């Protein structure tokens, strides 16, 4: 079974500091994509960052970056210079790729991040 | 593109009533997903379609729930009869088989059954 585990139900960080959210996954597939989604209090699900498994280089998007360790099946999210607007639930997700392409995402249970002023 | 559109944004109904949630996916997307989110159970995949055909409905909680996709630009999720435990936020999302592979979510429908 393919699973995604987020071991930190809740985290907090001071504004302007750096925080890392953990995610591990389990799959026998070799080709897949990984994602981090953000869900602020408005409840809109927003894509933060994506990583292709075949790329060794870690993805970055402005203040957001990932540490992708394929052998360890680990995909952590680092938020630098945290801002109050980063307060949200963060979901790690994974989709295997087959010859037919991608189907559904497997989501973790989420990490609730609070950025304190 | 306007993104995934869901209606209504909020729905309050009494137990036993029929509820219909609507979704318009992003034009050209060939996958459509229905999710339910609650505090207790988190984000649950209910059903998904590929090219308007239901692929996996194993997440549909019971026969009171049904979903249809009559064409590529419209889907409905119906609950009949509704119960208080159906209260949740229901999300619709769409994606492309051939990439990019992320799902684009609608704003959700907050359903309250009293």
Higher pLDDT, A54 or B67: B67
Residue A58 DSSP label? P
Are B31 and A109 within 8 A, CB to CB?
no
Q: How many CB atoms lie within 10 A of CB A113?
A: 21
- Report the candidate in A76, A72, A101, A69 with the shortest Cα–Cα distance to residue A90: A76
Residues of B in contact with A103 (CB under 8 A): 31, 48, 50, 55, 97
Q: Do the Cβ atoms of A102 and B105 come within 8 Å?
A: no
Burial environment of residue A23 by CB neighbours within 10 A (0 to 12, 13 to 18, 19 or more): buried
Per residue in A34-47, pLDDT (tens digit) is 999 999 999 999 99
Mean pLDDT of A66-87: 96
Contact (CB<8Å) B95/A44: no
Query: Which residues of B are less than 8 Å from A109 in CB distance?
Result: 42
Which chain A residues are Cβ-neighbours of B108 within 8 angstroms? 43-44
Q: Report pLDDT digits (tens) over B81-94.
A: 999 999 999 999 99
Most A CBs within 10 A among B101, B105, B107, B110, hence the mutation to make, goes to: B101
The answer to whether the Cβ–Cβ distance between B101 and A91 falls below 8 Å is no
From chain A, which residues contact B within 8 Å (Cβ)? 33, 35, 43-47, 50, 91, 95, 97, 100-105, 107, 109-110
Strands B10-13 and B109-113, how do they pair? parallel
Q: Indicate the average pLDDT of chain B.
A: 94
Q: pLDDT digit string (tens) for B22-57?
A: 999 999 999 999 999 998 888 999 999 999 999 999
- The DSSP bridge partners found for residue A102 are A97
Report chain A's terminal Cα–Cα distance, integer Å: 41
Measure Cα distances from B18 to A46, B37, B38, B66 in Å: 30, 20, 20, 11
Give the integer Cα–Cα distance in Å for A56 and A71: 11
Measure the CA–CA gap between A81 and A78, rounded to whole angstroms: 10
């Amino acid at each position: 079974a393919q699973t995604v585990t987020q071991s930190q139900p809740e985290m907090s960080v001071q504004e302007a500091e750096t925080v890392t959210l953990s995610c591990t996954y389990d799959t026998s597939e070799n080709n897949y994509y990984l994602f981090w989604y953000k869900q602020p209090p408005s409840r809109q699900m927003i894509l933060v960052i994506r990583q292709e498994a075949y790329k060794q280089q870690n993805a970055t998007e402005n203040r957001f970056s990932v540490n992708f360790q394929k052998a360890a099946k680990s995909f952590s999210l680092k938020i630098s210079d945290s801002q109050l607007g980063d307060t949200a639930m963060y979901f790690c997700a994974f989709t295997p790729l087959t010859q037919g392409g991608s189907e559904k995402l497997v989501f973790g249970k989420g990490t609730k991040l609070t950025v304190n002023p | 593109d306007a993104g995934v559109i869901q209606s209504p944004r909020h729905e309050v109904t009494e137990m036993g009533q029929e509820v219909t949630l609507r979704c318009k996916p992003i034009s050209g997307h060939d996958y459509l997903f229905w999710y339910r989110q609650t505090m207790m159970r988190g984000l649950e995949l209910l059903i998904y379609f590929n090219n308007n055909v239901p692929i996996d409905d194993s997440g549909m909680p019971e026969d009171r729930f049904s979903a249809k996709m009559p064409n590529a630009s419209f889907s409905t999720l119906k609950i009949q009869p509704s119960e208080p435990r159906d209260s949740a936020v229901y999300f619709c999302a769409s994606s492309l088989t051939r990439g990019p592979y992320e799902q684009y979510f609608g704003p959700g429908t907050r359903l309250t059954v009293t």
